[in-house]
Structure 1
Amino acid sequence: MGRTDVASRIVAAPPDRVYRALTDPEALVMWLPPTGMSARLERFDLRPGGGFRMVLTYTDASSSPGKATPDSDVVEARFDEIVPGARVVQAVDFVSDDPAFAGTMTMTWEVTAAEGGSRVDIRADDVPAGISAEDHATGLASSLDNLASHVER
């Protein structure tokens, strides 16, 4: 059993708008990459059993080398559960030769109505040992900040 990391945030947008941002490929590449990274999707299939392949590229890889290449992380994700308007569960694998990043991490994104908008909760189960708790907390918070900026416009 691996580590579990969690993060949450209230965003000033209705749950349906937030959920759409979780499931729209054009939106994902805009808000999901944490600060210092950009993203592109190589494929996207929104259905249980479908998934996506995302390449995340570091703006400056000198301080944080990539898992797949010196300047990038490659993520293979499978949609395990999709509850329209409420929850997306992904099984996530990092493409890496480093065994510290091996294993499947389960990412659960939940959206619920809250005063002032929506509450977004992220739960990451079985986080690979190669991802530090501090870096992951920073990355999750950054993604949530980006999501809020995206849906609050």
Structure 2
Amino acid sequence: ELGVPFSDPMADGPTIQRAAERALANHVSLRDVLETVRLFRQTNDKTPVVLMGYLNPVHKMGYQAFAQAAAEAGVDGVLTVDSPVETIAPLHDSLKAQGIDCIFLIAPATTEERIQTIAKVAGGFVYYVSLKGVTGAASLDTEEVSRKIE
């Protein structure tokens, strides 16, 4: 999984937000992420690569242009966390035409009906979100974790 930086990562906790801010402050763009994948593919063509991020950078590039660039770079799948299955057809179709999987999220609160809808169009795998809230928001007490490990 390779994150695409975005200016308003609403589903992410403070750690990932700070990482996105640093990347954007250093002018890292979606095109830079695709170039990173392309360079990675020069030495590794086996490890699956899934881009994870938000729809806006993809929308700005254009769905077909993005899908083509992602395929040329060697991307295997794309997960846009803020794209509901009901509105993702333009991106989904562009990705599918390039042989790229469109990955979807489900959570414990996802209804059976919605799971079935997602299962009909999902490719690759379905990303199960097992915790409520934003990612990276929980903090661990390292001393407590160490005691549990012992």
Greater Rg, structure 1 or structure 2?
Answer: 2
TM-score (norm: length of structure 2): 0.29
Q: In proportion to residue count, which structure has more strand? A: 1
Q: In proportion to residue count, which structure has more helix? A: 2
Structure number with the bigger relative contact order (C-alpha 8 A, sep ≥ 6) is 1
TM-score (norm: length of structure 1): 0.29
